[in-house]
Amino acid sequence: MKRDFVTIDDLSDSALASLMDLADRIRSNLRGHAADLPGYLMGSLFLEPSTRTRLSFEASMLRLGGRVITSSDPDTSSSVKGETLADTIRIVDSYVDVTVLRHPCAGAARLAARLARGPVINAGDGSHEHPSQTLCDLYTLRSERGPIAAQTVVLYGDLRYGRTVHSLARALVRFGARVLAIADGGLSLPEFVVDDLAGRPGCGIREVRINDMEDVFRRRGVEALLIAPEVTLPPAVGAAPLELNLRDQKVHAIYVTRLQKERLRGEAHGTSLPILDHRFLRSPTFSDSIVLHPLPRVGEIARELDTDPRAAYFRQAALGVPIRMALLLWCCGMVDLGAKAAPPARLEACTGGACANLGCITVKEEPGFAEVGRDSDGRLRCLFCEERVSEPSGS
């Protein structure tokens, strides 16, 4: 079976741990792997802007002794002439051994993986997922703070359109970490992520009211969700928010995201969340918290933090190379990560209904591929973008 990496759930917990162990070994001798993938060719097909993700994948392949071809400017690719992803991917796949795809539509990587003969890696599909960034995030958390299960991680910023947190929240929950998701109203985690998290074993979700740090968390419109094993199920619809004092919490990491301006569909959004600076981090809650960001930052983290030892975002970006080297070795069939067992599929395929999400690849480009499935609560969802689909009339 070919080894695609479309979602973070394509790798089991033990496989993720083995991948990080492999990245540790690679990192201790970064220049010693030039004969690991000789003769292999990677295609990087980036139909959206990227610096870190594309360059770290390319650096990874080159460090493994493979080679790379790139299409990194959407304006000079045939997509501007109207070529569909399905056609482009068939061609690129026929040239290379592994394809890394970034695309503005949700579900694009799943569609590509269906059509490609070789493995496909999702390097970001619209505002849906970004699982290789999650590898880098988990690897940083583990390298800097130890076992992930023991950690409390604050997700902070645009959690609705920021795809990195959609993959990260699922991974953190799988490992049993506690997640505190803080966002402006309207920019909280989207329904497809919250519902999926709520359906995962041992995970409860409750709205919380943070009682201290008034200047930061009691601003109008700021919403907070606690996603944690100790929150009792069911999620208590309409229940009063849990009261939480941050000073009683030990926060291991704050993961900051930028407002994804390019994805706002005509909505006017500013942010009322304060930027992260020394003043923000002066509370004892954060005395030991590392600060993460998938980057680019555009003002959410003050530059004054760059020299603070808690600022881990540049170290996090650097870890993107060894962990992506490990991922490429797995995708190309060079390593086994132990038991195959992937976590159970999020959606069980069924018939009926059609996606209406304008950001979904099956709506924007490839209606012929539309497929739906049922989630653990029996709701109909698009198999590509995971958005809710209405039940067909008469059913």
Token pair recorded at residue 325: 């080297």
Q: Which residue is nearest to ligand NCD (CB)?
A: 294
Q: What is the DSSP string of 261-294?
A: GGG--S------SPPBSTTGGGSGGGTT-EEE--
Q: Cβ closer to ligand NCD: 258 or 346?
A: 258
Residue whose tokens read 């650097």: 318
* Distance, C-alpha 219 to centroid of its chain: 27
Q: What is the SS3 assignment for 41?
A: strand
Helix H or strand E encompassing 86: helix 85-95
What are the residues binding ligand NCD (CB under 6 A)?
A: 52-53, 124, 130, 133, 163-164, 257-258, 294-295
Q: What is the SS3 assignment for 50?
A: coil
Show which residues are catalytic: 52-53, 81, 102, 130
Q: What is the SS3 assignment for 98?
A: strand
Q: Parallel, antiparallel, or unpaired: how do β-strands 41-46 and 67-71 relate?
A: parallel
Q: Cβ closer to ligand NCD: 295 or 329?
A: 295
**CA angle (384, 389, 391) in 5-degree steps:** 135
Whole-number minimum distance, CB 257 to ligand NCD, in Å? 6
CB atoms under 10 Å from CB of 319, counted, come to 23
Q: Which residues of 141-155 are buried (b: 16+ CB within 10 A; e: fewer)?
A: bbbbbeebeebbbbb
Q: Cβ closer to ligand NCD: 235 or 359?
A: 359
Whole-number minimum distance, CB 94 to ligand NCD, in Å? 27
Whole-number minimum distance, CB 48 to ligand NCD, in Å? 7
Q: What are phi and psi of 255, to 5 degrees?
A: -105, 110
Say how far apart CA 153 and CA 169 lie, in whole Å. 9
Whole-number minimum distance, CB 258 to ligand NCD, in Å? 5
Whole-number minimum distance, CB 294 to ligand NCD, in Å? 4
CB atoms under 10 Å from CB of 315, counted, come to 13
Q: Cβ closer to ligand NCD: 35 or 298?
A: 298
Say how far apart CA 317 and CA 286 lie, in whole Å. 22
Whole-number minimum distance, CB 209 to ligand NCD, in Å? 28
Q: What is the DSSP string of 141-152?
A: HHHHHS-GGG-E
Q: Cβ closer to ligand NCD: 235 or 320?
A: 320
